[in-house]
Amino acid sequence: MMNNDQLLEITTEIGWKLLKSGAEIYRVEESIRRMLAAYGFPEAEVFSIPSCIIVTINDENGHALTRLKRIHGSALDFDRIDRLNNLCRHICSEKPDLETIRTSLDEIMGKKDYCFWTNMFFTASISASFTLFYGGAFRDSFVSFFIGIMLFLLLSMLGRFHTNSFFQNILGSALVAGFSLWTTALGWTIHYDKMIIGTLMNLVPGIAITNVMRDILGGDLIAGIIKLVESLMVAAGIALGAGIAISTLRFFFPGI
């Protein structure tokens, strides 16, 4: 059996890992509430925003126990969200002991992600595919594939130094816009605008914007507004980086 401290700690940690994997706010809060209710705490209070989770329960003596966990960055992983959801359902139905939960949680978090080369290939493939989708020629798509590789390598390098995502988007979009414009000026490609749009689709926060609407419609206004601001910052970084690259190249090389 778990004591109250252990129960509070493990349920908060599961919610924290859900949030770090890109789960919606309502999903995180409801999952924690249901797990605590299964162990005899139906009146638990859970508050979450994209950067923090606070969970409070009252023990049998009426004393409040609280856990707070900060979230520093997140990455979307649908498979991990699905596995964590299944673990939450198992906890609610079977009420396993702490060691069983911890073993299952470690197994989920120990799942191997896609390797470096696989991620790079699909980043490049997305660039090439969207360039064609938006009306680019095959030669544009071919070059976009290699620009996508350069974008991935740049973002990987910046990620190792824990660079802020806003500056990652500025530098990444500047690289994409610069090389797209340069290759078009050399006559290698035709539609640099289609190449820029297609390659930058790797940076567009589509899921984040969808979650903004779900959070706001679900009544989580604070979380929705925070995510909306984050999405707008990403969009601003993309636009700023591309604009700087294009204007700089045209200033120094007017013929481009």
The DSSP line for 28-88 is: HHHHHHHHHHHTT-TT-EEEEETTEEEEEEE-TTS-EEEEEEE-------HHHHHHHHHHH
Residue 30: count other Cβ atoms within 10 Å of its Cβ: 15
pLDDT at 227: 83
Taken in order 220, 210, 67, 162, is the CA torsion positive or negative? negative
Give the integer Cα–Cα distance in Å for 95 and 75: 29
DSSP 219: T
Are 47 and 25 in contact by the 8 Å Cβ rule? The answer is: no
Write down the residue that tokens 């994409």 correspond to: 176
Instruction: Determine the 3-state secondary structure of 6 from DSSP.
Output: helix
pLDDT at 24: 85
Long-range contacts of 85-88 (CB under 8 A, 24+ apart): 85/18, 85/27, 85/31, 87/14, 88/14, 88/31, 88/34, 88/35
Are 105 and 17 in contact by the 8 Å Cβ rule? The answer is: yes
Question: Between the CA of residue 26 and those of 20, 152, 215, what are the distances in Å?
Answer: 14, 32, 7
pLDDT tens string for the chain (256 positions)?
A: 678 899 999 999 999 999 998 888 888 999 999 999 999 898 899 999 888 999 999 888 878 899 999 888 777 788 999 999 999 999 999 999 999 999 999 999 888 878 899 999 999 999 999 999 999 999 999 999 999 999 999 999 998 888 888 899 999 999 999 999 999 999 999 999 999 999 999 998 877 777 788 778 777 788 888 888 888 888 899 999 999 999 998 888 787 6
What type of residue sits at position 246?
I
Q: Which pTM was predicted?
A: 0.82
Give the integer Cα–Cα distance in Å for 180 and 241: 13
